[in-house]
Chains A and B, each alone.
Chain A
Amino acid sequence: MQIQYKPPRGLLATLFQAEIVQGMTLTLKRLFSKPITRQYPDEKPDIRTGFRGQHALVRDPETGDTKCIGCMRCAMSCPSRCIRIRSHKDKAPGSRRIIDCYRIEALRCVYCGYCEEVCPVNAVVLTEVFEYSSYDRPSLYFTKEQLLGNWDRFVAQLQVPVNEYVNPFWRPRGLPEGDLPAGKRMPVSPEWSGEQQVVGKKWRQQQSHLNTTAQEGS
């Protein structure tokens, strides 16, 4: 496809500077429309669900501690290797691993969300908090207690009850339930779980056309 190069300009348009008048009219019209600028520190932006922000460890309502089982999947999949976990196991049979130390270096993190996606028990999460800059580095090397505190702060400003909160990376939208470990099969809307997918209207038309021809054929 050949592009249209420089459009021709008549003598009158040249004389009266028509294109400049047109441009000025456009900007003048814009003067009377609603401004789209948001004054950030005073006006907070709308953060969409599933925004990958500050890290947190989910506090288990039953035990009051983290849900982490020390499987190391998050530390293994982390591309920037910013997660460090130390855990030990009690001698008593059937006991789960106890987390001694769970540290995330927020300054090294790239916010890819792999950790929350691979976590089998939804223990780690990237919350929708994005304002947590600091004047010193040590306060951004999150310890387990800080991460649990991050979760508490996030829950306090959450609109929905905690037990109904599902992060899109805990249960990726559209993944079949059979592919997910038991902890990630959280109740979600049929669109989220992939039972009701949004499809194109042309695809629907083709499908109905195929169905009618198949019926006529039979």
Chain B
Amino acid sequence: MTRPIRQRLEVPVAGGDGERYSLRMGPQHPATHGVLRVDLELDGETIVECTPQVGYLHRGFEKLAETKTYAQGLILTDRLDYIAAMANNVGYCVAVERLLDIPVPMRAKYIRTIVAEMSRLCSHLLWLATHALDIGAMTVFLYCFREREVLLDLFEELCGARLTFSYPRIGGVRQDVTGSFIDELQRFIDIFPSRIAEYETLIDTNRIWLKRTVGIGKITGEEALDLGLTGACLRGSGVDYDIRKHQPYDAYDQVEFAVPLGSEGDVYARYRCRIEEMHQSIRIIQQCIDQLPPGPIVDPDAPDLVMPIKAQTTIQAGRSEYGTGLIRLLRDENIYITGDVYVATEVPKGELGFYFISDGNNRPYRMHIRSPSFIHIGALSQIARGELIADLIANIGSLDVVLGESDR
């Protein structure tokens, strides 16, 4: 793909004497959001070549999942994108349910939508905090963490963990929501729009912020599609693509929300898109709270945590249907349907896809994760080429990469 930026380089750059030198940035650099290493070819302060190197956090989750049952595999997804673990959990469960053809009760769907959107708020808050800190706005960092703390407390109330939730389960969720949780969440979403207004007051029109973001890291919609960008990075360039809207899962088809779209495709447009997404998340959570139906939280046919056979048949021992799954297991028959499935969900970073191949066993034959961060890092060399080295920090921040997800 040719870019006009390459031609811009022909012009001698101010400060550069035409002599190139290489610089290794990272993996310990604080602005690379973890362990990203970027190999830079520089001409003065202008980036000529930019090669991201990933793999410092590789833990082999795709291979590891082949040794774990579907229920056990859920805990691996906590450690993909660890700042929005709930969205990954939900994505994994949606994929397994579609593979094994397990229905989900309506109440569980609504609860999952609520927690996935809370997770999106968590992720966007942390993104805004660190992105602003990278660019030099310290106050926003502290203000964002104030709200994130409330959300983490809510998660702790719900499922007993603040970071690695493992909250949904295949065929539903593990714990029902309580009245006190809903009340606390309602109080939070009542107050949260005013808090977003505070962040906007601090940086939205700030001239330093505008100088660092407007016109930086420009990417057109076509280029973004070619590079495979998803999420706010794609929508900032004006491409209307949101899996929640176009291929709804869980309760997203029951709620109303808009997909914020930018047109400029620079760092500032991506920032505005994410801020608007926070407003939309609030809308979704409010509607889910209002429409929350009663009912069971786990499908009765969902597999048990410990046995790959149906939950009820294992527990209601002594009843007539006991043992159907167990006998099939002992006879070495296929427990589950065979086949493969690719299911994508919209996590805060973009499109998170799980590709499963089932050979009828109680573990996946193959699990592939299409992680948005990995693909976004791949786009970095295209975006950063021809720009200043200081803008690379803004670009890494605005792509919103999490290395745990990229290296998996």
A12 at the binding interface (Cβ < 8 Å): no
Task: Determine if B176 and A174 form an interchain contact, defined as CB atoms under 8 angstroms apart.
Answer: yes
Residues of B within 8 A of A136 (CB): none
B284 at the binding interface (Cβ < 8 Å): no
Task: Determine if B294 and A199 form an interchain contact, defined as CB atoms under 8 angstroms apart.
Answer: yes
Contact of B293 among A17, A111, A179, A199 (CB under 8 A): A199
Query: How many whole Å from A168's CB to the nearest CB in chain B?
Result: 6
As a 0/1 sequence over residues 28 to 63 of chain A, the CB contacts with chain B under 8 angstroms (1 = contact) are: 000000001000000000011011100000000000
Residues of A within 8 A of B276 (CB): 1, 3
A114 at the binding interface (Cβ < 8 Å): yes
Task: Determine if B166 and A113 form an interchain contact, defined as CB atoms under 8 angstroms apart.
Answer: yes
Contact of A23 among B161, B201, B214, B259 (CB under 8 A): B201
Residues of A within 8 A of B60 (CB): none
Contact of A118 among B206, B207, B290, B306 (CB under 8 A): B306
Residues of B within 8 A of A113 (CB): 160, 166
Task: Determine if A200 and B164 form an interchain contact, defined as CB atoms under 8 angstroms apart.
Answer: no
As a 0/1 sequence over residues 197 to 215 of chain A, the CB contacts with chain B under 8 angstroms (1 = contact) are: 1111111000000000000
Among the stretches B23-31, B35-43, B51-59, B67-75, the one at the interface with A is: B67-75
B177, B210, B292, B316: which has the most chain A beta carbons within 10 Å?
A: B292
Task: Determine if A175 and B298 form an interchain contact, defined as CB atoms under 8 angstroms apart.
Answer: yes
B337 at the binding interface (Cβ < 8 Å): no
Task: Determine if A9 and B157 form an interchain contact, defined as CB atoms under 8 angstroms apart.
Answer: no
Identify the closest chain A residue to B179 (Cβ).
Answer: A198
Per the bound structure, the CA–CA distance linking A47 and B312 in Å amounts to 33
Known: A180-B315, A181-B315. A51 touches B205 (CB 8 A): no
Task: Determine if B176 and A200 form an interchain contact, defined as CB atoms under 8 angstroms apart.
Answer: no
Task: Determine if A202 and B175 form an interchain contact, defined as CB atoms under 8 angstroms apart.
Answer: no
Task: Determine if A7 and B290 form an interchain contact, defined as CB atoms under 8 angstroms apart.
Answer: no
Task: Determine if B182 and A198 form an interchain contact, defined as CB atoms under 8 angstroms apart.
Answer: yes
How many A-B contacts at CB < 8 Å in the complex? 157
Contact of B205 among A9, A117, A201, A202 (CB under 8 A): A9
B296 at the binding interface (Cβ < 8 Å): yes
Contact of A5 among B161, B175, B272, B315 (CB under 8 A): B272
Residues of A within 8 A of B315 (CB): 179-181
B115 at the binding interface (Cβ < 8 Å): no
Task: Determine if A200 and B178 form an interchain contact, defined as CB atoms under 8 angstroms apart.
Answer: no
Per the bound structure, the CA–CA distance linking A175 and B105 in Å amounts to 12
Per the bound structure, the CA–CA distance linking A191 and B181 in Å amounts to 12
Task: Determine if A200 and B160 form an interchain contact, defined as CB atoms under 8 angstroms apart.
Answer: no
Residues of B within 8 A of A78 (CB): 72
Query: How many whole Å from B83's CB to the nearest CB in chain A?
Result: 17
B258 at the binding interface (Cβ < 8 Å): yes
B402 at the binding interface (Cβ < 8 Å): no
Per the bound structure, the CA–CA distance linking A198 and B177 in Å amounts to 8
Query: How many whole Å from A71's CB to the nearest CB in chain B?
Result: 10
Task: Determine if A48 and B160 form an interchain contact, defined as CB atoms under 8 angstroms apart.
Answer: yes
Residues of B within 8 A of A50 (CB): 159-160, 175
Task: Determine if B178 and A198 form an interchain contact, defined as CB atoms under 8 angstroms apart.
Answer: yes
Task: Determine if B290 and A191 form an interchain contact, defined as CB atoms under 8 angstroms apart.
Answer: no
Task: Determine if B269 and A51 form an interchain contact, defined as CB atoms under 8 angstroms apart.
Answer: no
Residues of A within 8 A of B288 (CB): 200
Task: Determine if A6 and B214 form an interchain contact, defined as CB atoms under 8 angstroms apart.
Answer: yes
Known: A118-B306, A174-B176, A175-B298. A52 touches B161 (CB 8 A): yes
Task: Determine if A198 and B175 form an interchain contact, defined as CB atoms under 8 angstroms apart.
Answer: no
Query: How many whole Å from B292's CB to the nearest CB in chain A?
Result: 4
B58-92 residues with Cβ-Cβ distance < 8 A to A are 68, 71-76, 78
Query: How many whole Å from A15's CB to the nearest CB in chain B?
Result: 12
Task: Determine if A51 and B160 form an interchain contact, defined as CB atoms under 8 angstroms apart.
Answer: yes
Query: How many whole Å from A191's CB to the nearest CB in chain B?
Result: 6
Per the bound structure, the CA–CA distance linking A146 and B214 in Å amounts to 59
Task: Determine if A179 and B297 form an interchain contact, defined as CB atoms under 8 angstroms apart.
Answer: no
A172 at the binding interface (Cβ < 8 Å): yes
Contact of A76 among B175, B203, B306 (CB under 8 A): B306
Closest 10 CB pairs of A and B: A174-B176, A1-B258, A200-B292, A79-B72, A202-B290, A77-B306, A19-B205, A173-B176, A50-B160, A52-B160
A-B contact pairs, 5 of them (CB 8 A): A1-B258, A23-B206, A50-B175, A118-B305, A203-B294
* B residues adjacent to A (C-beta < 8 A): 68, 71-76, 78, 107, 139, 146, 149, 153, 156-157, 159-161, 164, 166, 174-179, 182, 198, 201-207, 210, 214, 258-264, 268-269, 272-273, 276, 288-298, 300, 304-306, 311-312, 315-316
